[in-house]
Structure formats: C-alpha cells, structure tokens
Amino acid sequence: ECWYIIDAEPGSYLIYGHNAKNKAELDQMIESGDWDHLLRKVPVKTGDFYYVPSGTVHALNKGIMALETQQSSDTT
C-alpha cells in the first residue's frame, strides 16, 4: 500500500510505525495505554509519498487528503 498526500493542512501528521525497541517494550506500552509515545507521528505536507509495508501500523489523521493505492491481497 502507498499514500500520496494530495493536500495537508499545516501541522498535519500521520501515524507510521511505532517507537518500541523490542516486543517487551511494545507489550508494556500497549498494556499501559502509552499511545502518545508508542505511535510514531510523522509530519506531512502536500506532495509527500509514503510506502506502507505489510504489517506496519498506520493511520491518516485530520487535515490530510490522500490517494491510497494498494495491491489486491488476502490480508489487510
């Protein structure tokens, strides 16, 4: 899957991956609900392009218009 950012308001960001250094840290951050530190927030601007590998946690946030392209597959 990939995203092309058609338009982005100033200060917009997307979620792309996480900051945990290992599985134990990932589990601890999830269990404690420490989402602000766990999820990697990436600032975006119009014209940016992102490739999102399978298995990568990802999300678009407010203020972003993106074109999403993906291959057909049996997984999401």
DSSP letters of 59-73? Answer: EE-TTEEEEEE----
Q: Per residue in 34-63, pLDDT tens?
A: 999 999 999 999 999 999 998 999 999 999
Please name every residue paired with 16 in a beta bridge, in sequence order, or none if there are none. Answer: 58
pLDDT band at 70 (very low <50, low <70, confident <90, very high): confident
Q: Does residue 73 surpass a pLDDT of 80? A: no
Q: Does residue 74 surpass a pLDDT of 90? A: no
Residue boundaries of the structural domains of the chain: 2-69
pTM of the model: 0.80
Buried b (16+ CB within 10 A) or exposed e, 55-73: eeebebeeebebeeeeeee
